[in-house]
Amino acid sequence: METLMTAPAVIHHLQFASLPNGMRLHYASAGEPGKPLMLFVHGFPEFWYAWERQLAEFGQTHFAVAPDLRGFNLSGKPAEVEAYRPKRVVEDLVQLIRTLGYSRCVIVAHDWGGAVCWNLAMQHPELVERLVIVNAPHPYLFARALAADPAQQQASAYMNWLRKPGSEQALAANDFALIEKMLSGGEGPRPAWFTDGVRERYHAAWSAPGEAGSHSLTGSVNYYRATPMRPPTDDEPAADLSRFDPAEAVVRVPTLVIWGENDRALPKTLVEGLGDFVPDLRLERIPEGTHWVIHEQPERVNLLIRSALA
């Protein structure tokens, strides 16, 4: 299947939705309101611009919308950690869909956005026509790996570092050097997709001020502070799996999972057993893809997403 042989859709920026819960979300969009809605949900440490290539492609056939999640870029940034619990972020997306005038949509999500949207699909399947997840583990499988798999615990050790006070200042130091290292996967050179122009956009987003004078990155780091998903430490155990009912973790919507298998933090073992929780599952592996596969191979990712819409 080929992408549409037409000009990319124009992306509109600086749009805001005021939600009933009081949150103000910034979003970018492409395509005309009234067409079927596609919602693109970013992860850490990104913002709506992560989906630029997808907005340009799918705005040709859909109303393609990419919000900044709460705590990121131009969206509201509550100060308290409690405000970043998954149920709060799920509520934002549910209300955004309805505020935009829709009752159903296609959802495409990556990283933290994927974690949120797995939960959204479990809790509100009536809102989700199709789900596309890119390198974001199913919550139950991830909790199980964090509790019992030493390799996953080691790969996710950075989560406990991010939970510590002051991590946002450390990430921002030396012109965001640590965040850029995350994007390159360690000590390697800057990835090819992270051009000077893209870097400038990301630095501006990482510098967007927080509320009440808080640090610009505090909201995004608070996702790690608020989640029960973390590797165990001497002071804190991993999430108690007995608190989770596997039957409530089943996703009952058609789902495509795209997995870059060269992901250092989220290895391919995390998709083992996924079919037990997603009856209508299609899994597409990209062996050479890293966690940032949406940037590395946007055309291939677009083709896979397009095929899921057929």
- Stated pTM of the model: 0.96
pLDDT at 206: 97
Q: Looking at the 3D structure of the chain, how many domains does it have? A: 1
pLDDT at 5: 54
DSSP-derived pairing of the beta strands 63-67 and 11-18: unpaired
Give the residue from 230, 46, 238 showing the smallest Cα distance to 156.
Answer: 230
- Kindly state whether residue 19 falls inside one of the protein's structural domains: yes
Give the residue from 180, 176, 201 showing the smallest Cα distance to 189.
Answer: 180
CATH number of the domain within which 139 lies: 3.40.50.1820
Please provide the distance, in angstroms rounded to a whole number, between the alpha carbons at the two ends of the chain: 10
- Kindly state whether residue 6 falls inside one of the protein's structural domains: no
* CA distance linking residue 40 with residue 1, whole number of Å: 21
- Kindly state whether residue 81 falls inside one of the protein's structural domains: yes
**Rg of the chain (C-alpha set):** 18
What secondary structure letter does DSSP report for 73?
T
* CA distance linking residue 12 with residue 247, whole number of Å: 41
- Kindly state whether residue 1 falls inside one of the protein's structural domains: no
Contact (CB, 8 A) for 213 and 102 = no
pLDDT at 140: 95
Residue ranges making up the domain that contains 303: 11-309
pLDDT at 2: 43
- Kindly state whether residue 3 falls inside one of the protein's structural domains: no
User: Which residue numbers are catalytic?
Assistant: 111, 224, 291
Give the residue from 265, 179, 168 showing the smallest Cα distance to 221.
Answer: 168
DSSP-derived pairing of the beta strands 24-30 and 11-18: antiparallel
- Kindly state whether residue 95 falls inside one of the protein's structural domains: yes
Exposed/middle/buried for 13, CB within 10 Å: 0-12, 13-18, 19+? exposed
* CA distance linking residue 304 with residue 279, whole number of Å: 19
Give the residue from 18, 8, 89 showing the smallest Cα distance to 51.
Answer: 8
- Kindly state whether residue 121 falls inside one of the protein's structural domains: yes
- Kindly state whether residue 53 falls inside one of the protein's structural domains: yes
One digit per residue, pLDDT tens: the chain, 310 residues?
Answer: 444 457 899 999 999 999 999 999 999 999 999 999 999 999 999 999 999 999 999 999 999 999 999 999 999 999 999 999 999 999 999 999 999 999 999 999 999 999 999 999 999 999 999 999 999 999 999 999 999 999 999 999 999 999 999 999 999 999 999 999 998 876 678 899 999 999 999 999 999 988 777 899 999 999 999 999 999 998 888 878 877 889 999 999 999 999 999 999 999 999 999 999 999 999 999 999 999 999 999 999 999 999 999 8
